[in-house]
A and B are shown apart, each in its own frame.
Chain A
């Protein structure tokens, strides 16, 4: 789905991501994880073209990302950020349907798609005409997800989608989100700093540190054959008190 070849990113001479190569498999959930500042968000933002790589190339479905094709390609990617990034001046409905309306989809098609997505995300129909300021954090993330899925993209990119939610809602939404990923059968790339969450969602975990990928694999592979002492250290640090929350592995 995504093929990154020697992609790097520098800001003002500082390294955010060292030359990195990575393949993202289709129809799987890949989770980017690591301590803060490790480059996981940078990697995701490079994929959606919000950042331009300082070196290397990113290929999406056989097409190299560049300034001319990025707008078109983004229609095939859904992007969700922490706390939704919803436009406060638009209702939930207007937020979700914004891009489809801009592309002049017929009204009927928009209505049908919206009904489908409210079902999928369990978003209450009477909330559609509310503004983001009138919705709870969990509801806002559902709208954000509807917006990201509206054009039926090939891939869903999520940057700490549950990061701003309180623990109860977070647990509830985790379950639902995994349900949704299973239903839509899409390629998912998700950034989190929480190992439990990563383990819960991931087919493949990509662990980063200081702008370098330390190891790529399943949780079992990371736990049983760590590529670097840091891998064990990272797993140990997060395990302890949260062991119960880790869910089935």
Chain B
């Protein structure tokens, strides 16, 4: 009976791993940034590629410019939509490129190509509530100098970018102090509610019309032009010439009005981006693709699989590493303190920072060592998330293993020695069973933390329950947020129950008796 239960308990994580494992045929992949326009454009590109018969996945919402740029250079994605202004001011800032020809020359050094412009510009602008702007008499950006108390909120990328807030402030000599980073979509809601005074806009945002915002005139001509274009790997021209022809059909075919309308359909009418893209292709290019819009259930299954994959893999690895580390840490004082502070330091790194910090070294390692690439290591998505989860899971398990072993009463250790049991037998028959409740509690803590923390993986494109939460925030869709939040909480509860059953089976019965 007990043996059966142990087998079942072990079979569960194994079964979950197999169920959640990804069997994917690797075709081309199109990446998109974490905002609606980028998702729609990439969906258009992906559908055009699929229409040539070439398998292609759209890796949606991978992150910000730096992540996409690096992924393209390393070949983790093959195509993504970018803006000339971003290339000039941000990506290639250090190489001082001016004209489009400069940009192309620089890109080809990286083995990349840029298409002709798609036909619309998506420029930065400053936006305010029309009424508030009229009250204060603000029409252009230089008018802002008179109101140092205004509250500004910008998206985090804009706060840092070479052409973002620091440059605008310098250019216009703006005095405002209450300036902080915030999610772009949340900023719209705060602006509409009058909580903030000003945010940065993208001129193709459908919300400008929807919230009836005033766009301030860039009277000192600071903001560069951001013409949309397609970036792709130069190698595609050789390996997939048909694909290159297909995606370049979009050149000069999308004007600003169309783009605003596309954004509006996705964001305001909540039509799924693949549907928006497919409708556009069928109306304007007479290309009819059948798209699979995921049902809610299909989505839930996918998120669950992705989430479980992150959690189970990172946790199994953490247990395999942390338990031996804990045993070592319990052995000697100095070694123990070293190990505990090492795994403790990892906990002090803010989770978001750790995720982003892992992207670069992983990309680099994958680039340098083909063996790592072969097992699927990449700086995108799953790997950085899994490694971060692994690192975070170490401390509770190491600490509990060590303290579980250290807290064994000395007279019990001595009794085992005095019996003449050899070292390994003492460890296996006495010390490990005595420490097992504490070790198990550590693994349980790690699991529950891990399940919650894995939602952050979506920030770097790892998927899981975090993805609907992020998309829900982007689209202001509470249903979608709950689609991630509720199962994540449920999963944590299931894990709790699992460990409670495991405790009953694994922890020796005699330890549950208090005399």
* A interface list, Cβ under 8 A from B: 48, 50, 70-75, 77, 79, 81-83, 85-91, 98-99, 102, 131-135, 147
Contact = CB atoms under 8 A, between A and B. Distances in A.
B430 A87 contact: yes
B419 A79 contact: yes
A75 B513 contact: no
Nearest to A101: B429
Contacts of A74: 417-420
Nearest to B511: A89
Given A85-B412, A88-B434, A131 B419 contact: no
Contact of A99 (B421, B433, B514): B421
Given A87-B430, A88-B434, A132-B510, A99 B515 contact: no
Q: Which of A85, A89, A91, A133 has the most CB of B within 10 A?
A: A89
Contact of B511 (A81, A88, A99, A147): A88
Contact of B508 (A81, A89, A99): A89
Interface residues of B, number: 23
B419 to A, nearest CB: 5
**By DSSP majority rule, is chain B's interface helix, strand, loop, or mixed?**
helix
A79 B510 contact: no
B510 A133 contact: yes
B6 to A, nearest CB: 16
Contacts of B420: 70-75, 99
B411 A147 contact: no
Given A81-B415, A133-B510, 16 more contacts: A71-B421, A74-B418, A75-B420, A79-B419, A81-B411, A87-B412, A87-B415, A87-B510, A91-B510, A98-B419, A98-B421, A99-B419, A99-B420, A99-B421, A131-B513, A135-B515
Contacts of B416: 87
A81 B419 contact: no
Contact of B515 (A50, A89, A133): A133
Interface of B: 411-412, 414-422, 425, 429-430, 433-434, 508-511, 513-515
Contacts of A71: 420-422
A81 to B, nearest CB: 6
Given A71-B422, A99-B419, A132-B515, A89 B510 contact: yes
Nearest to B414: A50
Name the 7 nearest CB pairs between A and B, nearest first: A74-B420, A89-B508, A131-B510, A85-B415, A133-B513, A79-B418, A133-B515
Contacts of B412: 85, 87-88
Given A85-B411, A98-B429, A102-B429, A50 B418 contact: yes
B232 to A, nearest CB: 63
A96 to B, nearest CB: 11
Contacts of A70: 420
16 contacts: A48-B418, A50-B414, A74-B420, A77-B418, A79-B418, A83-B411, A85-B414, A85-B415, A88-B434, A89-B433, A89-B509, A98-B419, A102-B429, A131-B513, A134-B515, A135-B515
Contact of B421 (A82, A85, A90, A102): A102
A48 B508 CA distance: 29
Nearest to B417: A50
A102 B510 contact: no
A75 B419 CA distance: 7
